[in-house]
Amino acid sequence: MNNSSLDSKINFEELLKDTQLSLYKFIFSLLPHKQDAEDVLQKTNLILFQKQKSFDAGLGSFRNWSFSIAKFQVMAHKTKHARSKICLSNELTEVLASESIDYDTPQIRMNALNKCYNKLPQHMRKIAELRFKGDLSIKEISLCLGIPLGSVSPTLNRIRSNIMGCINTAYEEAEKEFNNQI
């Protein structure tokens, strides 16, 4: 192995090591169980290591590249374990992954999600439940609830926006409360 290859390998390992915590938090924000997140992180690390020669720092950041691979590993894991009771749809996984919120603790995240979901009006909770838990299409939701087809997508967008805004606010409040306790 020449010096250039050795330097490249050491640099890759440093990038991978430096990204581990944020990569784990990202994966755990998309999966409901710690063990699942750890399994997906391990699989993601294996793939990152196998594909390290395809990473080109000139084309983008290591963080974005590794998060992209992690996102696909989360989706693959969810597809493989689709029988699990708690499983977010791939659409919701995409939305959450694109937001790339950095949560420090899973408990804060789960409390915020529950709190925010419960703040939604009943009709929005029903639509969210049908879409994200029942995995119904927009047309199926429209037929099931007897509402105009054209109103389902905007309502889903408002739900996503409300939940993400509420989660960010709840997270900031929890973080302030935690910092005040220290």
141, 125 in Cβ contact below 8 A?
no
93, 75 in Cβ contact below 8 A?
yes
Q: Per residue in 121-152, pLDDT tens?
A: 999 999 988 888 878 899 999 999 999 999 99
- Dig out the tokens for 164 from the structure: 């993400």
Residue 154 has a pLDDT of 93
For tokens 């963080």, what's the residue?
63
Q: Per residue in 7-55, pLDDT tens?
A: 555 588 888 888 888 898 888 888 878 888 999 999 999 999 898 888 8
Q: Which domains does the chain have, with CATH numbers?
A: 3-84 (1.10.1740.10), 106-181 (1.10.10.10)
Average pLDDT of the residues in 163-173:
79
Judged against a pLDDT cut of 50, whether residue 181 lies above it is answered with: yes
On average, the pLDDT of the chain sits at 79
User: At 6, is the pLDDT very low, low, confident or very high (cuts 50, 70, 90)?
Assistant: very low
pLDDT above 70 covers a percentage of the chain that reads 71
113, 101 in Cβ contact below 8 A?
no
